[in-house]
């Protein structure tokens, strides 16, 4: 058998969460051999519950529901770009300072830089200090946008918001103070729906520009995608669904 294929099959079960999946499968098989079918069934069901959410096709189904119908505007026009903040690794050493965006925020940054170069308009970086022990997001984003060629005098910080609702509320206040009337809001494609609801609630009309699509129509998966990999995509999708549910009932 091809050593490469062996490595592709074995490795996911030597890492988390695959290691836990393997543990419960082995336990289930051992229980069957010992004549304990009920116990074996429970262990195998636990293995399946650990395995299924960790596969890209399952997470992809959830993400696709969030991203379906979300489109990139063909000819975006506006007088300011608002970037929705994500997480940061605030103590991470970097080329030009300390702190870098989280993995899911880079797509937003790259999209904002490209849009800004095309339109030549100011950028509002929306995101404050979510936890007291963590550094604020805005200065980290500003440093990177400046590194990537956005003039510093065209970068404005909205550094009070802690969540998507506050992003919209405080961005609206800043737009009113600066006289901006046609904002373009950039965020991750899976986050667009919740962002739209937040800006509608805040009463700020905007054009929404998605970045970092994770799914697309007729996306296909190879056999290795059905091995256990990571819960992160599933958790991100679940986070959005819970947020949308909360908006429906509490806001």
Do residues 59 and 91 share a domain? Answer: no
* Residue pLDDT, tens place only, 4-15: 999 999 999 999
Judge whether 246 lies within some domain: yes
pLDDT tier, 226 (very low <50, low <70, confident <90, very high otherwise): very high
Check which CATH number belongs to the domain holding 134 and give it. 3.40.50.620
Are 203 and 234 found together in one domain?
no
**Residue 61 belongs to what domain range?**
3-67+217-250
Quick one: 120 exposed, middle or buried, by C-beta within 10 A (0-12, 13-18, 19+)?
exposed
Q: Does residue 151 form part of some domain?
A: yes
Whether 136 and 49 map to the same domain: the answer is no
Same domain, 40 and 99: no
Whether residue 98 sits in one domain with residue 205: yes
Strand partners, 165: none
**Which pLDDT score is estimated for 104?**
87
Q: Are residues 84 and 197 in the same domain?
A: yes
176 belongs to a structural domain? yes
Statement to judge: residues 179 and 227 lie in one domain: no
Using CA atoms, how far apart are residues 173 and 168, in angstroms rounded to an integer? 9
For residue 188, tell me if it sits in a domain. Answer: yes
Query: What's the total number of domains in the chain?
Result: 2
Identify whether residues 136 and 157 lie together within a single domain.
yes
One domain for residues 206 and 141 = yes
Same domain, yes or no: 135 and 191 = yes
Strands 80-84 and 123-126: parallel
Look at residue 185 in the predicted model and tell me its pLDDT: 98
Residue 1 has what pLDDT?
Answer: 63
Q: Residue 21: how many CA atoms within 13 Å on its side-chain side? A: 22
C-alpha distance from residue 182 to each of 11, 55, 185, 204 (Å): 50, 40, 10, 9
Q: In this predicted model, what pLDDT tens digit does every residue of 21-52 receive, in sequence order? A: 999 999 999 999 999 999 999 999 999 999 99
- Mean pLDDT (the chain, rounded): 96
Same domain? 140 vs 158? yes
Residue 75 maps to a domain: no
Among 156, 168, 151, 143, residue whose Cα is nearest residue 116 = 151
Residues 6+ apart with CB under 8 A from 200: none
Residue 72 covered by a domain: no
Tell whether 74 is covered by a domain.
no
Both tokens assigned to 96: 């030009």
pLDDT digits (tens, 9 = 90+) for 156-213: 999 999 999 999 999 999 999 999 999 999 999 999 999 999 999 999 999 999 999 9
The answer to whether 191 and 237 are in contact (CB under 8 A) is no
Strand partners, 156: 124
Q: Which residues contact 119 (CB under 8 A, 6 or more apart)?
A: 76, 77, 78, 81, 184
| pLDDT tens digits, 61-110 | 999 999 999 999 999 999 999 999 998 999 999 999 999 999 889 999 99
Residues 116 and 235 in one domain: no
Tens digits of per-residue pLDDT, 101-160? 998 899 999 999 999 999 999 999 999 988 888 888 999 999 999 999 999 999 999 999
């Amino acid at each position: 058998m091809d050593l490469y294929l062996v490595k592709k099959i074995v490795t996911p079960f030597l890492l988390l969460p695959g290691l836990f999946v393997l543990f419960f499968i082995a336990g289930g098989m051992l229980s069957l051999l010992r004549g304990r079918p009920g116990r074996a069934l429970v262990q195998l069901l636990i293995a399946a519950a650990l395995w299924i959410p960790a596969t890209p096709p399952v997470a992809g189904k959830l993400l696709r529901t969030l991203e379906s119908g979300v489109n990139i505007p063909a000819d975006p026009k506006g007088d300011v770009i608002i970037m929705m903040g994500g997480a940061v690794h605030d103590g991470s050493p970097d080329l030009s300072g300390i702190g870098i965006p989280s993995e899911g925020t880079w797509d937003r940054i790259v999209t904002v830089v490209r849009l800004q170069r095309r339109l030549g308009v100011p950028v509002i970086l929306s995101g404050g200090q979510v936890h007291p022990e963590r550094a604020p997001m805005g200065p980290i984003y500003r440093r990177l946008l400046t590194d990537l060629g956005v003039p510093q005098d065209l970068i404005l910080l909205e550094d009070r918001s802690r969540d998507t609702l506050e992003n919209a509320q405080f961005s609206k206040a800043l737009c009113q103070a600066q006289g901006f009337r046609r904002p373009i809001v950039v965020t991750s494609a899976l986050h667009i729906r919740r962002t739209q609801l937040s800006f509608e609630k805040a009463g700020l009309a905007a054009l929404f520009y998605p970045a970092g699509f994770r799914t697309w129509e007729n996306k296909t998966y190879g056999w290795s995608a059905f091995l256990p990999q990571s819960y992160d995509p599933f958790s991100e999708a679940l986070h959005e669904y819970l947020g949308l549910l909360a908006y429906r009932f509490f806001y």
